[in-house]
Amino acid sequence: MFDIALYEPEIAPNTGNIMRLVRNNGCRLHLIEPLGFSLEEKKLRRAGLDYADFGRISVHHDYPAFLQAVAGQRLFACTTKGSRPHHQPAYQPGDVLLFGPETRGLPDEVLAAVAPEQRIRIPMQPDSRSLNLSNAVAIISYEAWRQQDFAGAQ
C-alpha cells in the first residue's frame, strides 16, 4: 500500500508503536540508520506488542541507501515546515511518507531535495510545536489509506 520511512528515529517506544500501526494498516516500514536504540530493545518489542513483522520492515544503512531502495516512488516529507496540509495530496499506492527524528525533524538538506508541494504538515493550533511521532504517522498514513477507501481492510 504505502511506505512509511523513519529518518534516524530516536525513541524505541515510538518506533514500536509505528511497527504495530503498519501491521494494522498494511504499510511497509523503512528505518534509516543510525537508530537511537537497538532493534532488540525490550521497550521496542513491548510497544510493538510482538507485531514486529520484520518481513515488512527494511533497515537502511543511511539516507542515500534508502533513496536507492525507493527510487521511482513519490516521496512526501512530513514536517511542521510543510507548505501543504496532509489531506490535500491525492495519495497513490506506493507513495513514501518520510518522517524525521523526534527531537529535530527532517534536516534542511533532506527537505530541500523534496518539492515544496510534497512537503506536508498536519494542521495544529498556532501555539503548538509538534505532535508525537507515532501520532503523526497514524494521522497521515490513515488519511492516505482513507483516500484508497481503506483497500484491504475488513
Give me the residue spans of the domains in the chain: 3-147
Q: What is the dihedral of CA 77, 60, 135, 45, to 10 degrees?
A: 180
pLDDT score for 71: 98
pLDDT digits 0-9 by tens, 32-88: 999 998 887 676 666 555 555 565 889 999 999 999 999 999 999 999 999 999 999
Mean pLDDT of the chain: 92
pLDDT at position 147 is 98
**C-alpha dihedral, 15 to 25 to 97 to 86, nearest 10°:** -110
pLDDT, residue 47, reads 57
pLDDT digits (tens, 9 = 90+) for 136-149: 999 999 999 999 99
The answer, as to whether pTM is greater than 0.85, is yes
CATH of domain 3-147: 3.40.1280.10
Q: Is 120 annotated as a binding residue?
A: no
Bridge partners (DSSP) of residue 59 are 31
* Number of C-beta neighbours around residue 49 at 10 A: 12
96-130 pLDDT, tens digit per residue, is 999 999 999 999 999 999 999 999 999 999 998 88
How far lies 65's CA from each of 31, 61, 109, in Å?
Answer: 11, 6, 16
140 is in an annotated binding site: no
Please report the pLDDT score of residue 101 as a whole number. 97
- pLDDT, tens digit, for every residue of 6-37? 999 999 989 989 998 998 999 999 999 999 98
CA-CA distance, 63 to 61, in Å (whole number)?
A: 7
32 is in an annotated binding site: no
